[in-house]
């Protein structure tokens, strides 16, 4: 399993009128986790795009467990558990400072070229994952 840990601090702008983090922010935190996971692997998004590989989200799921609140530190754990076939699946676990589970979910992505045509996961990408799994 490939895993990355990163953190964010909940900003006032992240909260709704009830003082809780707005539900769509969790998906932004998934993106932060995914970006840092790929960067740590040596393939930041900028490099992927330079190589002509794009990774659009084709499915997302989030389960909310405990609401996050203003000024809280949120830990984002992002995981790739298996080599991609046609899709790449990334899991996310979001925890509060005290370890409380805030949310969990996943995103699935496909590889496409700049013209929007589907690609098989590039061998360079697969090799890098294989080295780290």
Q: Which residues pair with 32 in a beta bridge?
A: none
What averages of pLDDT result for each successive group of 10 residues across the chain (133 residues)? 97 94 97 97 92 96 97 98 94 97 98 94 92 88
Q: What is the pLDDT of residue 77?
A: 98
Supply the pLDDT for residue 133: 84
Give the class (CATH, top level) of 2-132. Answer: alpha beta
Judge if pTM exceeds 0.75: yes
Secondary structure class of 16 (helix, strand, coil) = coil
| H/E run at residue 126 | helix 123-132
- Asked if 115 is an active-site residue, the reply is no
* Burial category of 67 from C-beta neighbours within 10 Å (exposed 0-12, middle 13-18, buried 19 and up): middle
Domain regions of the chain by residue span: 2-132
Helix (H) and strand (E) counts for the chain? 3, 6
Q: Tokens 């900028």 identify what position? A: 46
- By the 8 A CB rule, do 71 and 1 touch? no
Catalytic: which of 16, 71, 91, 115? 16
72-82 as b/e: b if 16+ CB within 10 A: bebbbbbbbee
86 in Cβ contact with 120 (< 8 Å):
yes
């Amino acid at each position: 399993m490939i895993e990355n840990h990163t953190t964010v601090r909940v900003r006032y702008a992240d909260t709704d009128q009830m003082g809780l983090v707005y539900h769509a922010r969790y998906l932004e935190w998934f993106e932060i986790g995914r970006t840092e996971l790929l960067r740590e692997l040596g393939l930041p998004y900028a490099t992927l795009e330079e190589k002509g590989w794009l990774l659009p989200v084709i499915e997302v799921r989030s389960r909310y467990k405990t609401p996050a609140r203003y000024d809280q530190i949120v830990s984002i754990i992002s995981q790739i558990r298996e080599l991609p076939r046609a899709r790449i699946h990334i899991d996310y676990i979001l925890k509060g400072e005290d370890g409380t589970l805030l949310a969990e979910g996943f995103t699935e992505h496909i590889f496409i070229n700049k013209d929007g045509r589907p690609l098989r996961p590039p061998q360079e990408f697969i090799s890098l994952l294989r080295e780290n799994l």
